[in-house]
Chains A and B, each alone.
Chain A
Amino acid sequence: MHAEAVVRKPLITGGKTVHDVTDDICKRVEEKPAKSWLLAMAISLGLLSFGAYAVFTLVWDGIGSWGLNKTVGWAWDITNFVWWVGIGHAGTLISAILLLFRQRWRMSINRAAEAMTIFAVICALQFPLLHMGRPWIGGLWALPLPNTYGSLWVNFNSPLLWDVFAISTYFSVSLVFWYIGLIPDFATIRDRATGLRQKIYGVLSFGWDGAAKTWSRYETVALVLAGLATPLVLSVHTIVSFDFATSVIPGWHTTIFPPYFVAGAIFSGFAMVLTLLLVTRKVYKLEDYITMEHMELMNIIIMVTGSIVGVAYITELFIAWYSGVEGEQYAFLNRVSGPYAWAYWSMMTCNVISPQLFWFKRIRTNIAATFVISIIVNIGMWFERFVIIVTSLHRDFLPSSWAMFYPTWVDVGVYIFTFGLFFTCFFLFAKFFPVINMAEVKSIVKATGEKTSK
């Protein structure tokens, strides 16, 4: 019945049975919060509170409290937006693309990665919303709704509007995908619980009963959603890259942007998944489920996408030179050797050189090295967006208006706000939701457990 190549390493170690899977994962939800969790929550709530004050200042004083000037009209806001959206990509990639490719190693990590996607997209949404100045009505302006000026509609020629549709579709489809996956696991917690917890998880589990007919439909839904979400993942960052690529600014007007942005997004997304999972598996003692094999496979993806990103950087430089367009050539020369050269070379070091270390098996199977490189990659990917945006803007078509961008505390504060938001959401998820997809993992216990894969 179960065919598995003998050369495959076990995906679940420790000789686990199906019942062990239920126990190990549900225990985290059922037991009282650990001190480490309370401390982590306190820190993220602290970040959130400080950040909320920065957001309040921003909304109260206006966008002038950011360090923007007449030349640099976009800086940390769009940098952070693109960065957070990119982080989200690994979740959908793991749940959709790897599902279509029948990669069973995704089963231990998809739940946390999808949660990361949802929270990262929520963080990303803060930036365009806050940039509108009046966020309480700004969201409505972006939608094609009739307004008081008559039948004046939103501009469907604008990539910014495409973003509205792309990100909101991405967010809602990812949320549904994630929630449908959670339903059977909520039912498991419901059936072990009593009292209030049973009631809450009873509502969350939507009356799941585990009937074969429902499982059959559930699998069809998962497969079709994966089929729909796969082009969606690719389209979202492609459309985000159109914000730049369809403009006429030297350094932005680049046809390589769509695939380059998608590769970069997966690159940074996997790095964030690793950062989070390395901590989660250690704190929750899930080493038997999230094994070194998982770490190694994710590191290989980081290495491959990091190499694609590296090729894209070099291609950009080559095309700028080859185009013969002086403005384009100057934009790239300025990136490499201008006042923001430090950011450019930080980006190159973090994104091109550091993932190449994963060619060495000793490094890609080393937890400490993986953790450090995953953080370096995320820093590098933030710099990538910063370099693209700020270095292309700060020296525009008129040398008399050339300027530098200096972030204010509000710029930094709003970024910290999103960190607080992200980690608060993630820690709440880690405490109250099953962090590993129990139903899926149970289906591979027999086929890829230690007893069968040797």
Chain B
Amino acid sequence: MSGNKNFVLGVFDDEDLLLKAIKEVRQSGVKIYEVFSPFPVHGIDDVLGYKRSRLSIAAFMFGLLGTTLALTMQIGMMTFDWPMIIGGKDFFPFPTFIPVTFELTVLLGAFGMCGTFFVVSNLKPWAKPRIFDLRITDDKHIIVVDIDKNSMSEDEIKKSLAASGAQEVNNKVFE
């Protein structure tokens, strides 16, 4: 890595104003690097042009894996490996397999999805996040613009953010 990374930050304290500002800033031709918030802001995905997360599909696939694993395990153990009549039930007592199958479906679905979430979001105990402003986790919403990734000049970016209602417009440099 060589050189510094220069960012411009637009600070907002109202979520509705933030949504309006994102629209305006994008319309003015500024490419937004990321928006940071202390809480989830509804409707922000649409204005930023984010697609719907596919984590629910991951949950479904992992759940399906859980169902398969549970049924394979139970049928393998109770029907083939050690067939035994217990309580008058036959070697393939399917109804009694349902509770464990359900639980393992939920278990693998939940854990698989959460694991995927941690991986794709780069969340891990030793992760060192790039903190643009300490107030992000308190009460401020911040629009971050990467100067190097924009064809507009720093001044134009700052003007656009200020015009959209930013309380403060700051610079942040990472080495």
Interface residues of A (CB under 8 A from B): 1-2, 17-19, 22, 144, 151-157, 159, 161-162, 165-166, 169, 172-173, 176-177, 180, 183-184, 187-188, 190-192, 203-204, 206-221, 223-225, 228-229, 231-232, 235, 239, 242, 439-440, 442-443, 446
| Category for how many chain B residues contact A | 35 or more
Chain B residue contacts of A225, Cβ below 8 A: 110, 113-114
- Determine if B111 and A216 form an interchain contact, defined as CB atoms under 8 angstroms apart: no
CA distance A159 to B59 in the complex (A): 27
Chain A nearest Cβ from B71, distance in angstroms = 11
Could you say which of B14, B126, B138 has the most chain A C-beta atoms within 10 Å of its C-beta?
A: B138
CB-contact partner of A209 in B56, B110, B136, under 8 A: B136
Residue B40 interfacial (CB < 8 Å): yes
Q: How far is the CB of B175 from chain A (nearest CB, A)?
A: 18
Q: Are A188 and B129 in contact (CB under 8 A)?
A: no
Chain B residues near A154 (CB-CB < 8 A): 77
Residues of B within 8 A of A18 (CB): 13, 38-39, 138-139
Q: What's the nearest-Cβ distance from chain B to residue A171, in Å?
A: 10
Cα distance, A2 to B43, chains bound together (Å): 11
What are 22 A-to-B residue pairs whose CB atoms are below 8 Å?
Answer: A2-B16, A151-B81, A157-B87, A161-B100, A162-B103, A176-B110, A176-B114, A177-B110, A184-B38, A187-B137, A203-B125, A204-B125, A207-B125, A212-B41, A216-B44, A219-B40, A220-B52, A220-B53, A221-B113, A224-B56, A225-B114, A228-B63
B174 proximity list for chain A (CB < 8 A): none
Q: Are B124 and A207 in contact (CB under 8 A)?
A: yes
Q: Are B125 and A188 in contact (CB under 8 A)?
A: no
The residue in chain B whose Cβ has the minimal distance to the Cβ of A2 is B16
In whole angstroms, what is the CA distance A210 to B130 when docked?
Answer: 10
In the complex, A442 Cα to B137 Cα: how many Å? 11
Selected interface stretch from B2-10, B89-97, B145-153, B156-164: B89-97
Contacting A at CB under 8 A, from B50-101, are 50, 52-53, 55-56, 59, 63, 73-74, 77-78, 81-82, 86-87, 89, 93, 96-97, 99-100
A437 to B, closest residue via Cβ: B39
8 Å CB contact of B50 from A19, A213, A221? A213
**Given A216-B53, A220-B56, A442-B38: A235 in contact with B109 (beta carbons within 8 A):** no
Alpha-carbon distance A440/B77, docked complex (angstroms): 45
Please judge, given known A-B contacts A19-B139, A188-B137, A235-B102, whether A212 and B37 are in contact too, CB under 8 Å: yes
- Judging by beta carbons under 8 Å apart, are B44 and A215 in contact? yes
Tell me whether A221 and B55 are in contact (CB under 8 A).
yes
Answer whether residue B168 sits at the interface, using C-beta atoms and an 8 A cutoff. Answer: no
Asked whether A206 lies within 8 Å of B127 as measured between CB atoms, the reply is yes
B173 at the interface (CB under 8 A from A): no
Residues of chain B within 8 A of A442, CB atoms compared: 38-39, 139
Contact of A157 among B44, B89, B134 (CB under 8 A): B89
Cα distance, A216 to B111, chains bound together (Å): 18
**Alpha-carbon gap, A216 to B40, bound state (A):** 7
**B122 close to A (CB within 8 Å):** yes
Known: A144-B73, A153-B82, A224-B113. A213 touches B34 (CB 8 A): yes
Known: A169-B104, A228-B110. A1 touches B38 (CB 8 A): no
Of A152, A184, A213, A217, the contact of B137 (CB 8 Å cutoff): A184
Q: Which among A2, A217, A224, A439 is the interface contact of B120 at CB below 8 angstroms?
A: A217
| B169 within 8 A of partner (CB) | no
Given the interface pairs A172-B107, A203-B126, the reply to whether A215 lies near B13 with Cβ below 8 Å is no
> Could you tell me if A156 and B97 are in contact, using CB atoms closer than 8 angstroms?
yes
How many Å lie between the Cα of A58 and that of B13 in the bound state?
A: 59
- Chain A: which residue is nearest B33 at the CB level? A211
Query: A36 to nearest B CB, angstroms?
Result: 28
| Known A169-B104, A215-B40, A217-B53: A19·B138 in contact at CB below 8 Å | yes
Q: What's the Cα separation between A323 and B172 when bound, in Å?
A: 77
Query: In the complex the two chains form, is A228's CB within 8 Å of B139's CB?
Result: no
Task: Let me know if B100 and A156 touch, CB within 8 A.
Answer: yes
Q: How far is the CA of A100 from the CA of B134 in the complex (A)?
A: 32
Besides A191-B131, A212-B44, A213-B50, 8 other CB < 8 A contacts?
Answer: A156-B97, A162-B99, A173-B106, A210-B136, A215-B37, A216-B40, A218-B121, A225-B110
| Complex CA distance for A213 and B16, rounded to whole angstroms | 18
Nearest Cβ on chain B to A391's Cβ, whole angstroms = 25
Q: Are A439 and B128 in contact (CB under 8 A)?
A: no
The 4 closest A-B pairs by CB, nearest first: A207-B127, A18-B139, A209-B129, A162-B99
In the bound assembly, the distance between CA atoms of A1 and B42 in angstroms comes to 9
Q: What distance in Å separates the Cβ of B70 from its nearest Cβ neighbour in chain A?
A: 9
Compute how far the CA of A228 lies from the CA of B103 in the bound complex, rounded to whole angstroms.
10
CB <8 Å contact, B120 and A211? no
User: Do A1 and B81 touch (CB < 8 A)?
Assistant: no
Given contact pairs A188-B38, A209-B129, A218 touches B118 in the complex (Cβ within 8 A)? no
Report the bound CA distance from A155 to B96 in whole Å. Answer: 10
Q: Which residues of A contact B100 (CB under 8 A)?
A: 156, 161-162, 165
A-facing residues in B5-25 (Cβ within 8 Å): 13-16, 19
* A contact residues around B110 at 8 Å (CB): 172-173, 176-177, 225, 228-229
Find the residue from A159, A173, A229 having the highest chain B CB count within 10 A. A173
Q: Are A183 and B37 in contact (CB under 8 A)?
A: no
Pick the contact of A208: B16, B55, B99, B123 (CB < 8 A). B123
CA distance A436 to B102 in the complex (A): 32
Chain B residues contacting A211 (CB-CB under 8 Å) are 34-36
Contacts of A443 in B (CB 8 A): 39-41
Task: Tell whether, in the assembled complex, residue A183 and residue B123 are in contact, meaning their CB atoms are under 8 Å apart.
Answer: yes
A224 touches B41 (CB 8 A): no
Q: Are B96 and A156 in contact (CB under 8 A)?
A: yes
Q: How far is the CB of A59 from chain B (nearest CB, A)?
A: 29
